[in-house]
Amino acid sequence: MVLPRVLSLAQIGKLARQTSVELEVFGFGSLCVMAEGRCLLSSYATGDSPNNKGVCSPAHAVRWTEQDGTMQARLSGILIDSYAPGEPAGYPTLCKGRFEVEGERGYVLEEPTSLNALSLLPALIDMGIAAIKIEGRQRSPRYVGDVVGVLRAAIDAACADPARFVPRQEWQSTLGRHAEGDQVTQGAYDRPWR
């Protein structure tokens, strides 16, 4: 069973103790402000439910254009973001777009943030988690190869010596190149609230 990204470590541990079903948790990928699979913003803009299409921004609705050296991302004709030459262009979703509001340009709904549970691997392994899920839909082969390579090496290291496991800087650097936005979090796994 794939658990949603909104559960804390304590909740995952409780579930793991109460079931014989193999559990899978997210270990790396972008986070969302909406209930997973129920984004009304993308449904409104594209006419497609993320549950039916499996993505926030279905490929048929996404357009990348270049204008005066600036890369523009549009979703169903709506300008979501503009990127300066050489600036990394993120996954085009309405909630993580930069818009101009009252003369200021910035993230209006949510600043892109990536989940990185690398440091939690020993705890997840100890709970009996069977698999770590990596967000890979609509991602490049390089993204998938790099992230899978890092997590494979980290899981092997955490299994070999969980008490001394520390994420390596090169692993974090590689994941950082594929993180969405400048913020990284352990998400709900480490939340202090209930």
Question: In 3-state terms, the chain is what percent helix, strand and coil (to 5)?
Answer: 40, 25, 40
pLDDT tens per residue, range 10-23: 889 999 999 999 99
What are the residue boundaries of the structural domains of the chain, listed by start?
A: 9-32+113-190, 40-107
41 or 1, which is more confident: 1
131 or 191, which is more confident: 131
DSSP state of 88: P
The pLDDT, as a whole number, for residue 190 is: 66
DSSP state of 20: -
The pLDDT, as a whole number, for residue 80 is: 86
pLDDT tens per residue, range 30-81: 776 655 555 777 788 888 877 677 677 888 888 999 988 899 988 888 888 8
